[in-house]
């Protein structure tokens, strides 16, 4: 238990905040191109053969990529129980919408090729479109609402309460700023899917993906910058009135939080975090350029960099806040007040140190084994192709 004593409670909280970011970024980097390909499917494939080429670029890996989402949800449940309770209860209908869309993906992949009927396959192609586009949009909408603050409050017993019924809560999430962030997420993942298709597909499918990505990339950059300006000058930030004592218990009601000033304050306090939005813009710009120059590998790597930068921008700008409250700022959930116990975080960290390298190693091995481009000959000759 010596190591347990050396790792302070606040250090473990910080480590788990970073790990949560790693899991969410890992999900966006891997399952992100799955969703992007699904959302692009009706537009990059005009014939059944072309759509099969697009589907089979992600067919061997899409199930494994969803591990990151499961790990992220598990990490929130175990490391940040109040965050899990507040977010899943407040975003219930939005979560249900995402899950329903995600359920369409495995069903679409598995059932699409069961019948040769063109109408049957077209319906499942649109199901795959919904399974890719809807989660990409809704995840961004959720982030946009987190940046503004969510209308919840906590009772003295830390029970979360929301204003309005479930339908009103869902409609409240669909506000202009959140929808703008949703467009950032959607166009970013469309560009990511386009770079993947450019890298993995052959022929006209790759050409159409490059053409679409060359448009969605600049849109992602412009909406990202617009959202940044709006956030900086149109949405009040959250601040602690006084820093919490080191090792404070996880109780959001202990600290005093005010909602005032600008989120830009974070960049004056920690200037080094400006590298995140720079990487976001630079990465997507280079991905767009790579698509236009037909440099598929370059475009895919740049897209990965751009997604890393965009998601890191959100986390670093909000730090230490994770889910602020717009109606009771003092109930806002932060890195310092919403975690599990010291011992729980330590045991989870030990498990992560053991098992995360196994997940990474297995994932790398799968991608290595399934390396190579997909063309018409592959999907017609391979009995295991979708």
Q: What confidence score (pLDDT) does residue 354 get? A: 92
Does residue 379 lie within any of the structural domains? no
State how far the Cα of 79 lies from the Cα of 214, in Å rounded to an integer. Answer: 40
Does residue 382 lie within any of the structural domains? no
pTM of the model: 0.92
Q: Name residue, tokens 């004592």.
A: 245
Q: Residues 178, 141: contact at Cβ < 8 Å?
A: yes
Q: Domain tally for the chain?
A: 1
Joined tokens for residue 331: 């109930």
State how far the Cα of 240 lies from the Cα of 257, in Å rounded to an integer. Answer: 5
Does residue 381 lie within any of the structural domains? no
Q: Averaged over 360-384, what is the pLDDT?
A: 79
Q: How confident is the model at residue 113 (pLDDT cuts 50, 70, 90)?
A: confident
Residue 249: how many other CB atoms lie within 10 Å: 13
Q: What confidence score (pLDDT) does residue 117 get? A: 84
Among 229, 132, 227, which residue's Cα sits nearest to residue 184?
227
Q: Which residue has the higher pLDDT, 219 or 106?
A: 219
84 class by beta-carbon count within 10 Å (0-12 exposed, 13-18 middle, 19+ buried): middle
Does residue 244 lie within any of the structural domains? yes
State how far the Cα of 117 lies from the Cα of 320, in Å rounded to an integer. Answer: 54
What is the span of the domain harbouring residue 150? 2-370
Q: What confidence score (pLDDT) does residue 228 get? A: 94
Q: Which residue has the higher pLDDT, 173 or 41?
A: 41
Does residue 148 lie within any of the structural domains? yes
- CA angle at residue 251 from 231 to 327, to 5 degrees? 40
Residue 334, SS3? strand
Does residue 376 lie within any of the structural domains? no
Does residue 149 lie within any of the structural domains? yes
Among 270, 200, 163, which residue's Cα sits nearest to residue 57?
200
Does residue 384 lie within any of the structural domains? no
Q: What is the mean pLDDT of the chain?
A: 88
Query: Tell me: the pLDDT tens digits for 248-278?
Result: 888 888 888 889 888 888 999 999 999 999 9
Q: Averaged over 114-133, what is the pLDDT?
A: 89
């Amino acid at each position: 238990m010596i190591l347990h004593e050396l790792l302070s409670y606040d250090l473990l909280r910080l480590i788990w905040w970073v790990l949560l970011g790693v899991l969410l970024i890992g999900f966006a980097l891997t399952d992100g191109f799955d969703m992007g390909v699904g959302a692009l499917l009706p537009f990059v494939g005009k014939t059944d053969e072309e759509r099969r080429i697009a589907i089979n670029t992600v067919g061997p890996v899409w199930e494994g990529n969803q591990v990151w989402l499961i790990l992220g949800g598990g990490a929130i449940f175990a490391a940040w129980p109040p965050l899990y309770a507040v977010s899943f209860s407040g975003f219930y209908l939005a979560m249900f919408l995402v899950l329903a869309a995600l359920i369409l993906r495995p069903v679409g992949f598995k059932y699409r090729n069961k019948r040769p009927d063109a109408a049957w396959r077209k319906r499942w192609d649109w199901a795959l479109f919904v399974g890719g586009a809807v989660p990409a949009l809704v995840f961004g909408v959720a982030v946009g609402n987190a940046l503004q603050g969510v209308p919840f409050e906590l009772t003295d017993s830390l029970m979360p309460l929301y204003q309005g019924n479930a339908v009103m809560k869902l409609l409240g999430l669909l506000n202009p700023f959140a929808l703008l962030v949703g467009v950032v997420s959607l166009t970013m993942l469309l560009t990511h899917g386009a770079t993947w298709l450019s890298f993995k597909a052959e022929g006209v499918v790759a050409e159409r993906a490059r053409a679409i990505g060359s448009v969605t990339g600049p849109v992602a950059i412009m909406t990202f910058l617009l959202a940044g300006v709006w956030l900086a000058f149109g949405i009040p930030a959250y601040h602690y009135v006084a820093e919490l004592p080191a090792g404070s218990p996880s109780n959001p009601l202990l600290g005093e939080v005010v909602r005032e000033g600008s989120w830009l304050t974070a960049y004056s306090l920690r200037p080094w975090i400006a590298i995140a939005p720079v990487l976001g813009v630079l990465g997507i710009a280079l991905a767009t350029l790579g698509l236009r120059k037909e440099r598929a590998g370059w475009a895919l790597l740049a897209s990965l960099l751009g997604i890393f930068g965009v998601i890191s921008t959100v986390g670093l700008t909000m730090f230490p806040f994770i889910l602020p409250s717009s109606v009771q700022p003092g109930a806002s959930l932060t890195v310092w007040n919403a975690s599990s116990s010291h011992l729980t975080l330590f045991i989870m960290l030990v498990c992560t140190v053991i098992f995360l390298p196994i997940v990474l190693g297995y994932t790398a091995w799968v991608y290595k084994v399934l390396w190579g481009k997909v063309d018409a000959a592959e999907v017609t000759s391979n009995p295991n192709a979708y």
